[in-house]
Structure 1
Amino acid sequence: MMHLLMICAVIAVAFWLRCSWQQPQGNWTVRWQRALFLFLFPPLLILMTAIALLCMGSQGQMGGLQTGWFSYVLALSYLTFSCILGIKLLWEGWQSVKSTRNCAVVNVAGRQVRLLNTGALFAASIGFWQPELVLSQGLVQTLSTEHLETVLAHEQGHCHYRDTFWFFWLGWVRACTHWLPNTENLWQELLILRELRADAHAASKVDPLLLAESLLLVASTPPVTSLICCAALSSNGTDRLEQRIEALLEQPQSTPEFNLRSWHGFLLAFLPLVTVIFHS
């Protein structure tokens, strides 16, 4: 009974936090911290609760109330389901990496890239911790050398922030908690912020106007169907493209590096683990 109360309380908190999300406001830093917290904290809280219940087992007492097998099986099922999803995404990501390595290596604007044999305009970083840059043959033939340099600078931004690696794990969180409110809205918010960050990194090295022109040229490209371990130049949707163009034309915003203090709030998600000491 006590374990079921824990599960209900945690799910209620997760729903409440997710429902508190509103349309994005403020600068890049404020939007990023809020979106990341609301996207990641509720699943982390649920995950820690499931681990705590698994550690306590199906027998014993907690707070004077008897624990049972139902909550134990529920926690075990959720953790097993999450692990299966993670293995599935890892396999799909590895297949994308293997497919990428079948592409020829060419030199573009002084950099070694993989050349995708298609006429579509496509540029992406594909991989995990150390992704490889993939450009389509159509993009290389269509864009000038100056525009190609802006594309390379944008993709270098993704590599600098390890976007493919971190968004693989965020994609796993998304798959595990698709049933929570605003999961897709927060995911799309994180994607546009990821692109704005890469654009800002590129704008510090190349002409922002040239980068904006490259975005418009690639806008006709069909969206990437898999975001498992891929960070692409193209924008899915007119609104996202407009945000990126406007950000490039305005005064560039600073994108601060990793700050440990911004993660202090996530420590509260580990509170369910403390309840293990009260189980007997």
Structure 2
Amino acid sequence: MHLIMILTALGVAGLWRYKYPFYSQGSWNQRWHQVLSLFALPPLLLTMTGVAVLYMGADEEPMLWQWQGRFSYLIVSGMLGFAAISLLKLAYQSWQTQQIVRTCPQITLLGKRSRVVANPLPFSALVGFWQPELIVTEGLLTTLDNEHLEAVLHHEQGHYYYRDTFWFFWLGWARSYTAWLPHTEQLWQELLLLREIRADFWAAQQVDPLLLAESLLQVVSTVSVPPDSCCAAFSCAAVRDRTSIRIDALLAPESVASATNLWFWSWLVLAFLPLVAVPFHTCSHLTSTAH
């Protein structure tokens, strides 16, 4: 039973990712949910399957097939162990980044508390977990005037509104221990792009979209910073070559994020389905013990 569960989860994960080249575009909001489900479902399904098998234990009946239970137990133990190590490594790297940021001087910038990094390149980002800090470079302060600077800060506020640093920490963790799944890196790059577009839309409700587009051109054209799992930046290497996509999305008349449809989250039911087997296994085990 355990081995069948693992093979089924692997099959579903592979088939789900196989859809990637063929998913429909739709609106930006629909595209965000489609890419998110394609990226997040396979790791979550495999993790929940591993948790279920680990909870049910290594022994299976009948005795002839006990090797399957023990072999499956070793597989999921290895997978979950690697996932745990990946999580600890990512958490430590994020902690190091935050410690470095906290050594930078703090100022009030256009009414928002920020930390200033001594770097001539224009750059801004949120760094942290649930309550991230805003960082800006000296280069950004000298490159942009107050209007364009305000547009950039609203973009970062959009990241804060959606808690992008928190959610992308966990998505980055899923990426780190399931990199072997099909299309992982392509979907990750898509998510980074769509994350920036979503924050752009949020900022465009507060400031003139043209100001935001001009700020994007000035900043992205001069800086390339690798994305960090606990960092949500106005510009990063992953989306640097897609600046025109962000600008077109900002300036298009239909560039307004639509309301979230709960149907988009129905894939979560499939992800947690392996846990349904746990109570049945427990009942079966109790019955066999009684006999």
For the 8 Å contact 2:18–2:182, the answer to whether it is kept is yes
The residue identity in structure 2 corresponding to 1:108 is L
Q: Which runs of 5+ in 2 are unaligned?
A: 286-291
Q: Deviations over 1:177-229 (max 9, x none)?
A: 10000111111111111101110111111111111111011113443224210
- Supply the distance in 2 between the matched residues of 1:235 and 1:272 (Cα, whole angstroms): 37
What count of residue pairs does the alignment treat as equivalent? Answer: 278
Q: 2:180 maps to which residue? A: 179
The answer as to whether partners of 1:235 and 1:241 remain within 8 angstroms in 2 is: no
**2:131 corresponds to:** 130
Whether the 8 Å contact between 2:125 and 2:156 is mirrored in structure 1 is: yes
Rounded Cα–Cα distance in structure 1 between residues aligned with 2:145 and 2:277: 61
Does residue 1:42 correspond to 2:80, yes or no? no
Structure 2 counterparts to residues 1-280 of structure 1, below 5 A: 2-22=1-21, 25-61=25-61, 65-66=65-66, 67-236=68-237, 237=239, 239-256=241-258, 260-276=262-278, 277-278=280-281, 280=285
The one-letter amino acid of 2:60's match is: G
- Matches of 1:238 and 1:87 in 2, distance apart? 29
Report the structure, 1 or 2, having the larger helix content.
2
Question: Normalising by structure 2, what TM-score?
Answer: 0.90
User: Given residue 229 of structure 1, which amino acid in structure 2 is its aligned partner?
Assistant: C
Q: What whole-Å deviation, never above 9, does each CA across 1:7-66 have from its counterpart, x for those lacking one?
A: 22211111111011126612112101111111111111111111111111111227x954
Between the aligned partners of 1:223 and 1:8, the Cα distance in structure 2 is 41
Give the distance between the partners of 1:248 and 1:270, measured in 2 at CA: 36
| Distance in 2 separating the partners of 1:102 and 1:252 | 42
Does the Cα contact within 8 Å between 1:221 and 1:234 map onto a contact in 2? Answer: no
Deviations 1:118-142 (A, max 9, x none): 1011111111111111010011011
Give, as a single letter, the amino acid of the residue that structure 2 aligns with 1:105.
Q
What is the DSSP-based 3-state SS (H/G/I as helix, E as strand, rest coil) of the residue aligned with 2:253? coil
SS in 1 for 2:21: coil
For residue 256 of structure 1, report the CA deviation from its aligned partner.
4.6
1:54/1:72 contact within 8 Å kept = yes
Q: Deviations over 1:238-267 (max 9, x none)?
A: 542111110111115332566654323211
By how many angstroms is 1:106 displaced? 1.5
Q: Separation in 1 of the partners of 2:261 and 2:99?
A: 34
Distance 2:100 2:8 in 1: 45
Kindly state the Cα deviation for residue 268 of structure 1 after the two structures are TM-superposed: 1.5
The separation in 1 between residues aligned to 2:111 and 2:5, in whole angstroms, is 57
**Equivalent residue letter for 2:274:** P
Say whether the 8 Å CA contact 1:122–1:233 is kept in structure 2: yes
> Residues of 2 paired with 1:197 and 1:182: CA distance?
22
Q: For residues 7 and 211 of structure 2, what CA distance do their matches in structure 1 show?
A: 52
Helix, strand or coil: the match of 2:106? Answer: strand
Asked whether the 8 Å contact 1:200–1:252 carries over to 2, the reply is no
CA–CA separation in structure 1 for the residues paired with 2:45 and 2:235: 33
Residues in 2 aligned to 1:239 and 1:105: alpha-carbon distance in whole angstroms: 32
DSSP-derived class of the 1:112 partner: strand
Checking the alignment, whether the CA contact within 8 Å between 1:156 and 1:202 is kept in structure 2 is yes
Question: Secondary structure of the equivalent of 1:180?
Answer: coil
Are the equivalent residues in 1 in contact too, given 2:226–2:236 (CA < 8 A)?
no
Q: Please say if residues 122 and 221 of structure 1, whose CA atoms lie closer than 8 Å, have aligned partners that are also in contact.
A: no
SS of equivalent to 1:125 = strand
Q: Is the 8 A contact 2:147 2:211 kept in 1?
A: yes
Residue identity (%) = 49
Q: Helix, strand or coil: the match of 1:202?
A: helix
